[in-house]
Amino acid sequence: MSEATLAPPAGGRTTTANRNMVLSSLRNGDRFFFWATRLSAWIVLLILGGIIGSLFVGAWPAIREFGIGFLTTQRWAPNAQPDPVLGGLGPIYGTLVSSLIAMVIAVPVGLGVAVFLTELCPQKLRQPISTAIELLAGIPSIIYGMWGFFVLGPFLAEYVEPALIATFEHVPVLNQIFKGPASNLSLFNASLVLAIMILPFITSISRDVFLTVPPVLKEAAYGVGCTTWEVVKNVVLPYTRVGVIGGIMLALGRALGETMAVTFVIGNSFKIQTSIFAPATTISAAIASEFAEASDVHQSALILLGLLLFVLTFIVLAAARLMLMRVEKKAGN
Amino acid sequence: MLLNNLLRAACVAAVATIATAPARAADISGAGATFPYPIYSKWADAYKKETGNGLNYQSIGSGAGIKQILAKTVTFGASDAPLKEEKLKKDGLVQWPQVMGGIVPVVNIEGVKPGQLVLDGQTLADIFMGKIAKWSDPAIAKLNSGVKLPDAAIAVVRRSDGSGTTFNFTDYLSKVSADWKSKVGSSTAVEWPVGVGAKGNDGVAGNVGQTKNSIGYVEYAYAKQNKMTHVDMINAAGKRVSPTSAAFQAAAANADWAHAPGYYLILSNQPGDASWPMTAATFILMYAQPGDKAASTEALKFFDWAFKNGDKAAEELDYIPMPANVKDMIRKTWAADIKNK
């Protein structure tokens, strides 16, 4: 704070006293601000630690009972005699595969929409389409679940799935993945609903970062004769990769943890089947449909599934960070 | 200053709430089976009109109901799967049957009308095991000459949550199919060999309604309210029966409640020409030494009222009221076992 900004001495006090007063009040304000923000940061860590801790305590009986075998066992029989047999492989598989299929569908489409909006779309259409995509992001997941159950599921089972099954009937491997019968409720349908749910995240974040590309870069590229595709590939995407990957990871996080929409359309079966038209389950769907009824080690196994989802999400985020760092390094060289 | 005033106002409000809370009539609280939920809510409506006392019943499933009563968060628990006498004694619970009903298989096949299709126990078990995978299977065709069935895969819909309805359904399948008994067995949640899982009786009803060529099982009231296509059954006596009050009643008439300790009795696959094979009672659980005696007394008043005035409402929804002599037996059990004083 420079002296010039200080008020002139008032009420007989000296300039020095006045200045000290102002400075100390500023210092106190700063200190208060420091502690307030620091406290907030600590609270976040505390809550995170608390959640991990309580998940671990809740999951402990299941960990003690099933050990590492929980990750490799597919059988889920809470009422088996004499002792329940509970394995998490089915829901873990369902979570990973449904998210993977959703990403395979949503990433190209989402990026495509973003490119269209920023590079190709007529000015007039830009605002309405952007608003529509942001509205998609605001729809509660239960609505997606109902829509998937009542509209999308029957439509897929009637038209899309039979066509896919017929197409790949004689192709080895693929005929196992696209194996009938068609079903309203299946891993494929859940993945498709997930893809539609995460699409707006990818699109709106990518669009925002695409808009940050300096026009001069693009104009230079166009000036040397690049096509739109080349501009996107060589200028826009390299310039914005951090933001784009961030958006994709946010979408993946949502896909991994999505509960209600998936529970509605996935069919809740713990059996792993090769066909993506067969019912499956995910970690969050299994917890949602069984938690109310569960007790003892069954309940503990569900909490363990929750803990695993937590770990899974953490690994995915860490991997994304790592990937990002390597990309940065490569770009730096 | 403003903050001070706000704080003071909040304190006053809080104290006022605490002070007035006990004065309000407490609703009777219960939780459990979804199977009897339609009739309990109908009774609760009528009871509220007559006495001003409400019933807060959460239909969260039998297993959850048992969990809630063990956690003492509700005054009564409701379950379709009765607890064995040893378990009742261990936890200090008293159990009795409140009302009976039927479980019916429901299908959604284009062109098939309610009651047109008939199955026997073995065929039903094979369908739910995945051994019979198509509607055109000879085992189904043999029972249904004259009904045109599609050459389509059967979509099995079953419960994804623990359920008393599942308990009674799988108990029946275990009695009629040795294969089912050894491979799947009976309990509130079994390892289903095939099918998609839906939550609650309403979830199964909704899924069957949505899915072509599907089959599921629901409590009869749900089938009736949703206007679903029910399936007739061949019963233990080898006769074809439709799911009607009379058929449920015929199965219930055989029940020997007097010699069932803790009223532990499962009514599936009863003998008799007119008996519906999947009939079930639904049970109430309360503590013998209740923590809140006043709440316990209120709950018993409600159940007594339901025994006295609820039969007509039950019959309207195709539940079967308990026979008069059994009601008297249950009243004696209340007086002897539940210490409300």
Contact residues of A toward B, CB < 8 A: 75-81, 149-150, 153-154, 157, 180-181, 183-185, 263, 267-270, 279, 281, 289-290, 292-295
Buried residues in B286-308 as b, exposed as e (16+ CB within 10 A): bbeebeeeebbebbbebbebbbe
Partnered with residue B158 across adjacent β-strands are: B197
Partnered with residue B93 across adjacent β-strands are: B287
CA distances to A309, B157, B173, B214 from B195, in Å:
25, 5, 16, 10
- Distant-in-sequence, close-in-space partners of A79: CB < 8 Å, separation ≥ 6: B187, B188, B189, B190
Q: How far is B91 from chain A (nearest CA, A)?
A: 15
A 10 A CB-CB count for B253 gives 13
What letter would DSSP give residue B134? Answer: B
- Cis bond leading into A82, ω under 30°? yes
Q: How far is B20 from chain A (nearest CA, A)?
A: 32
Q: Which residues of A touch B153 (CB under 8 A)?
A: 180-181
Assess contact for B38 and B317: CB atoms under 8 A. Answer: yes
pLDDT at A320: 79
Q: Give the distance, in angstroms, between the CA of residue A330 and the centroid of all CA atoms in the same chain.
A: 26
Among candidates B195, B199, B212 on the partner chain, residue whose Cβ is nearest the Cβ of A289 = B199
Q: How far is B331 from chain A (nearest CA, A)?
A: 30
Residue ranges in chain B whose pLDDT is less than 70: 1-26
Note whether A267 contacts B190, CB cutoff 8 Å: no
Reported as a single tens digit per residue, the pLDDT across B269-322 is 888 888 999 999 999 999 999 888 888 999 999 999 999 999 999 988 888 898
What's the length of chain A? Answer: 333
pTM of the model: 0.79
- Best residue in A146, A155, A273, A289 for a mutation probing chain B (most B CBs within 10 Å): A289
Note whether A293 contacts B61, CB cutoff 8 Å: yes
Q: Which residues of B touch A268 (CB under 8 A)?
A: 160, 196-199
CA distances to A208, A259, A322 from A255, in Å:
21, 9, 20
Residues B341 and B337: their CA atoms lie apart, in Å, by 11
Q: Which residues of B touch A296 (CB under 8 A)?
A: none
Tokens representing A211? 């808009």
* Residue in A107, A89, A147, A51 with CA at minimum distance from that of residue A252: A107
Residues B85 and B92: their CA atoms lie apart, in Å, by 10
Q: Where are the alpha helices (DSSP H) in B92-163?
A: 121-129, 138-143
Q: Which residues of A touch B198 (CB under 8 A)?
A: 268
The residue type at A288: A
Q: Which residues of B touch A155 (CB under 8 A)?
A: none
Residue ranges in chain A whose pLDDT is less than 70: 1-13, 331-333
Looking at chain A, which residue has its C-alpha nearest residue B188?
A79
A 10 A CB-CB count for A265 gives 30
Looking at chain A, which residue has its C-alpha nearest residue B31?
A292
pLDDT at A284: 93
pLDDT at B4: 53
Note whether B189 contacts A79, CB cutoff 8 Å: yes
Q: Which residues of B touch A184 (CB under 8 A)?
A: 155, 196, 207, 210-211
- Best residue in B79, B87, B196 for a mutation probing chain A (most A CBs within 10 Å): B196
Pairing of strands A85-86, B240-241: unpaired
Reported as a single tens digit per residue, the pLDDT across B93-110 is 999 999 998 999 999 999
CA distances to B1, B9, B11, B14, B54 from B5, in Å:
6, 6, 10, 14, 38
Tokens representing B265? 């009795």
Count of CB contacts below 8 A, A vs B?
80
Residues B229 and A4: their CA atoms lie apart, in Å, by 89
Looking at chain B, which residue has its C-alpha nearest residue A285?
B160
Assess contact for B136 and B150: CB atoms under 8 A. Answer: yes
Note whether A157 contacts B211, CB cutoff 8 Å: yes
pLDDT at A102: 95
Q: How far is A296 from chain B (nearest CA, A)?
A: 10
Q: How far is A21 from chain B (nearest CA, A)?
A: 26
* Residue in A287, A277, A281, A290 with CA at minimum distance from that of residue A262: A281
Pairing of strands B320-321, B118-120: unpaired
Task: DSSP for B240-273, please give it.
Answer: EE---HHHHHHHHHT--GGGSGGG----BT--ST
- Distant-in-sequence, close-in-space partners of B259: CB < 8 Å, separation ≥ 6: none
pLDDT at A290: 86
Note whether A293 contacts B162, CB cutoff 8 Å: yes
What letter would DSSP give residue B55? Answer: E
Q: Which residues of B touch A295 (CB under 8 A)?
A: 63, 67
Q: Give the distance, in angstroms, between the CA of residue B8 and the centroid of all CA atoms in the same chain.
A: 50
Buried residues in B43-58 as b, exposed as e (16+ CB within 10 A): bbeebeeeeebbbebb
Tokens representing A161? 């799935």
Measured over the CA atoms of residue A51, residue A52, residue A55 and residue A56, the dihedral's sign is negative
Q: How far is B265 from chain A (nearest CA, A)?
A: 20
Residues B32 and B65: their CA atoms lie apart, in Å, by 3
Note whether B191 contacts A77, CB cutoff 8 Å: yes
Residues B271 and B130: their CA atoms lie apart, in Å, by 28
Q: Give the distance, in angstroms, between the CA of residue A275 and the centroid of all CA atoms in the same chain.
A: 25
Note whether B207 contacts A184, CB cutoff 8 Å: yes
* Residue in B271, B165, B154 with CA at minimum distance from that of residue B221: B165
Q: How far is A280 from chain B (nearest CA, A)?
A: 8
- Best residue in B62, B163, B174, B191 for a mutation probing chain A (most A CBs within 10 Å): B191
Note whether A293 contacts B187, CB cutoff 8 Å: no
Assess contact for B121 and B234: CB atoms under 8 A. Answer: yes
Assess contact for B283 and B78: CB atoms under 8 A. Answer: yes
Residues A185 and A145: their CA atoms lie apart, in Å, by 11
Among candidates B152, B161, B211 on the partner chain, residue whose Cβ is nearest the Cβ of A293 = B161
pLDDT at B270: 87
Looking at chain A, which residue has its C-alpha nearest residue B152?
A181
The residue type at B177: S
Contact residues of B toward A, CB < 8 A: 60-61, 63-64, 67, 152-153, 155, 160-163, 185, 187-192, 195-199, 206-207, 210-212
